[in-house]
Amino acid sequence: MIRGFLFALALGILGGVGFRAASPAADDRVPYSAASVARGKTLFLQNCQDCHGEDGKAQGSAIAVAPDLTRPEVWKYGQTDDQIFSNIRNGAGDNMPPFGPLGPGLKDAQIWDLVNFVRSIGPESKRPKS
């Protein structure tokens, strides 16, 4: 049974690889701005607050143990804009689900809005100048 499970898991991991997307093209990036942050906030409330909380601090834990998005130092899967984008679009680790084509179907521009919103609630030192 264990053997069967490991085989199944291996198949699953291999099967999953095909859904990983490459890094986004640089020209898709949405610049940091108040308008983008506002759009990102709406998307965040609609897609992210169940796990990360309304304020991004993930203080509720009924559904998932999610990281505090206001503290980049506790993030496990990278802190750069491209890494945040990829984590949202394609998922991260076993449990951060994809929100791109295989998740809620967010467009790349929307995901950049989310990246900008996440930056807006994080430390000012990591926030791009608008």
Instruction: Kindly list the residues in this chain that would bind other proteins in the complex (CB under 8 A).
Output: 1, 4-5, 8-9, 11-13, 15-16, 19, 42, 44-46, 49-50, 54, 61-65, 91-98, 102-105
Residue (5 or 125) nearer to other proteins, CB: 5
Least separation in angstroms between CB 49 and other proteins: 6
Give dist(CA 31, CA 104) in Å, integer.
23
Amino acid at the residue 126: K
Residue (105 or 128) nearer to other proteins, CB: 105
**Four-point Cα dihedral 78, 111, 89, 81, nearest 10:** -20
